[in-house]
Amino acid sequence: MVIGQHRIVVLIVSEIHPSIYDIVPSVVKVVAKRYRGFVEESDLRQECYVFAASKHHQFKDLLNEPDLEVRKQNERRIGWQIKRAAERYARKEKASKLGYQINDEAFYKGATIGQLLPFVIASVLTGKPLEQGQHLVDDGQPKKPSAPAESGNFLAVLIDIKRAYLLLPIEDRDLLERRYFHEHTLQQIAQFLECAVSTADRRVESSFNKLQDNLGGISPWS
């Protein structure tokens, strides 16, 4: 979009409510960090203003609410809608750059990540690519995935988890490798870290939570 069009959008948004200028930057910061390497902040910002402009009349009514508490609730609702729009845009850009269809995306629980993480780590350690319909196991030989990973979005899930894993600091990757690939017990990890088992448990959980954070939040399409 050209700069002139961007200025028009900003002018329209400014007529809705000044709080839009507070909402958009905070949304852009969160979404840009989550999709680092796939979208530019300037593009996300522009997309947010375009979306807000398209909801001009709806947002105006919500933000002109005389009741202060209700108006604050409306501002949160608007922020949520703008964030979802930004995430939809970011996910489309990500799918395009990674070469898969947006419908191939999956939103997964911790149990699913934990099940697939050993195969992602195997791919990283062996340097062998992940492919649709197969895993890499300890000996490097391909093996057909178990039922939870047999859906059409299998490859997109693996690509996502692998990228999220590679974004982690080396110490977090090391802990996840020990726990999920080598299947070390918490007692063994505690011995390696020279700490209490409870501390080792928290460290592993923290590393896993960072991985989940790298994978993004709830589906923006729901």
Q: Are 120 and 158 in contact (CB under 8 A)?
A: yes
Query: Which residues on adjacent β-strands are paired with residue 134?
Result: 131
**Whose structure tokens read 């890499």?**
136
Measured distance CA(116)–CA(75) in Å, rounded? 39
Phi-psi region of 133 (alpha: psi -120 to 50; beta: other; left: phi over 0): left
Q: Which residues of the chain have pLDDT under 50?
A: 1-3, 8, 13, 132-152
Tokens, residue 187: 């007692």
Last residue of a domain, one of 99, 129, 153: 99
Assessment of whether the complete model's pTM goes beyond 0.85 = no
> Residue 27's pLDDT is what?
93
Tally of structural domains, the chain: 2
Q: What pLDDT score was predicted for residue 12?
A: 54
Looking at residue 108, its pLDDT comes to: 65
Asked if residue 69 belongs to a domain, the reply is yes
Query: If DSSP codes are grouped into helix, strand and coil, which group holds residue 131?
Result: strand
Where does a domain end: 65, 84, 99?
Answer: 99
Whichever domain contains 114, its CATH number is 1.10.10.10
pLDDT of residue 197: 94
- Structural domain boundaries, residue 90: 3-99
Task: Tell me the residue length of the chain.
Answer: 222
